[in-house]
Amino acid sequence: MLKLAVIGAQALLGRELIGGLEPQDCSVLPLATGTLTREEEEGDLVMFAPIPSLLEGLDAVILVDTPQDPDLLATFPGRILDLREEADPKTAGDPMPLAGLWPPTVLRFRGRPALEQVLAMLPTLISGIGAISGTHLRSVAWLGDKGVEGLLKQTREVMSGEDPDTAALGYRAAFEVVPQAPRGNLIEVRTPTFHGDLLILSLQAAEGQILALKEAPGSVAWTDTPPSSRDVAVNSNLQAHISLAEGAKSALLTLGYDPILWGVLRPTLRLLGL
């Protein structure tokens, strides 16, 4: 049985990971980032303050939030998966592989953005792709607790006739659709939704080829209609729908995924062989 700890169990991502890991063939130790507050001690999730002795004998540590003790993992001999947004590429290891199990000779990996994982999967879903452009409709889940709680707070303020406080998120999220500057052929639009991202892509076939669907891998499900953000917010699969133009020279591809359930939890389970 795999023995592991989640540091940052009080965070949204930490709670989701623990909920997904506990039913698997493993032992999960939920750890806070430091000394527990009274609210954390009395919360629904039983967690413990992190001390080095609790890490003895564990196979792996999943780092969701930064521990207050900077030396907590200094002598930990096992594997470390660093899922923090601020993970330093120089010390946190290479991005987790897109397929396969954790290689036995590697001790550290860091998380890989869900959008990057989706785009890397395109050749496994459709053959003959030439050019790609599109729009990424992004929920606040990528900001974790700060995003979910910030949107909830702003929504309450707007409904009360107040100007929402933008300090937590850095922008007005409630009841707003906020386009970002394009990155190449892809534009991000931040939407007032808690979970569930949609990627709407315009595909053009490569010269002399046509677009053709492939059998979906295990983490993907082809759907008869385009998925909604609600559909993917409660699903650990990537939902995919395609509308091919006549002659299959172009297509509109809609991909829906939850950045936590599909983008973090699912690859973590795969990486650990669970």
Place of tokens 């452009």: 133
What is the C-alpha to C-alpha distance for residues 223 and 220, in angstroms, rounded to an integer?
A: 10
Structural domains in the chain (count)? 2
Parent domain of 227: 116-145+176-259
Q: Counting runs of H as helices and runs of E as strands, what totals does the chain give?
A: 6, 15
For the chain, what's the residue count?
Answer: 274
Same domain, 44 and 141: no
Strand 129-138 to strand 186-190: parallel, antiparallel, or no bridges (unpaired)? parallel
Same domain, 86 and 136: no
Residue 99 is assigned to a structural domain of this protein: yes
Whether the predicted model's global pTM rises above the 0.85 cut? yes
Q: What is the pLDDT of residues 175-213, one digit of tens each?
A: 999 999 999 999 999 999 999 999 999 999 999 999 999
Same domain, 8 and 129: no
Residue 152 is assigned to a structural domain of this protein: no
* Residue at 78: amino acid letter: G
**Average pLDDT over all residues of the chain:** 92
CATH number at 133 reads: 3.30.360.10
What is the C-alpha to C-alpha distance for residues 108 and 101, in angstroms, rounded to an integer?
A: 13
Residue 13 has pLDDT above 80, yes or no: yes
Strand 186-190 to strand 94-95: parallel, antiparallel, or no bridges (unpaired)? unpaired
Q: Which pLDDT belongs to residue 116?
A: 95
Same domain, 74 and 33: yes
